Amino acid sequence: MTGQFESRLAALGITLPEAAAPAANYVSYVQAGDLLHVSGQLPKAEDGTLVTGKLGDGLDVAEGAAAAKLCAIHLLSQVKAACGGDLDRLVRVVKLGAFVNSAPDFGQQPAVVNGASDFLVEVLGDAGRHARSAVSSPALPFGVAVEIDGIFQIR
């Protein structure tokens, strides 16, 4: 039976991809008590390509927000994997840490990260409301536009 969060994703036409394996010497997530710390997720599209580029120099806020939403989808994939396939073990999103590949004069990082925040609230309701940071970065791995990590409370 599909849980409430998976049903909401399906209603939005979203299927969570398989959780990505770590690309280096780290783990995808660590559980400490009821908190799940998920490593930074990159904006990987359904076709496997990464959304690359620099906000304010080739990418606009809407494109950055779409990339941030992809990061949030991958965060949920990691949460689902950590919860043995049962996304409804998620109690709430506690905090997101977002890094935005930005041109020196770009200052709309919060608007970019809203792509992830708005998506999580749309799917999870009040359980998706979270604290966050949205910071500029002069470069990110593989030239991606955004990278987001998260802390989640699970049962």
| CA 24/CA 22 separation, integer angstroms | 6
Sequence-separated (6 or more) residues with CB below 8 Å from residue 116: 68, 69, 71, 72, 75, 96, 98, 146, 148
**Residue 60, domain member (yes or no):** yes
Residue 38 domain-assigned (yes or no):
yes
Q: Is 145 part of any domain?
A: yes
55 is a domain residue: yes
Asked if residue 12 is part of any domain, the answer here is yes
Q: Is residue 44 part of a domain?
A: yes
What span, in angstroms and rounded, lies between the C-alpha atoms of 52 and 58?
A: 10
Domain contains 23: no
User: Average per-residue pLDDT in the chain?
Assistant: 97
Query: Is residue 40 domain-resident?
Result: yes
Instruction: Give the pLDDT confidence of 8-26 residue by residue, as tens digits.
Output: 999 999 999 999 999 899 9
Render pLDDT for 37-67 as a digit per residue (tens, 0 to 9). Answer: 999 999 999 999 999 999 999 999 999 999 9
Does the CA dihedral 21-37-154-71 come out positive or negative? Answer: negative
94: domain CATH number is 3.30.1330.40
Question: Confidence class of residue 147 from pLDDT cuts 50, 70 and 90?
Answer: very high
pTM over 0.85: yes
Average the pLDDT over 140-146 and give the result: 98
Q: Which domain holds residue 108?
A: 4-16+28-154
pLDDT, tens digit (0-9, with 9 covering 90-100), for 52-110 = 999 999 999 999 999 999 999 999 999 999 999 999 999 999 999 999 999 999 999 99
From the CB of residue 41, how many other CB atoms can be counted at a distance below 10 Å? 25
Total domains present in the chain: 1
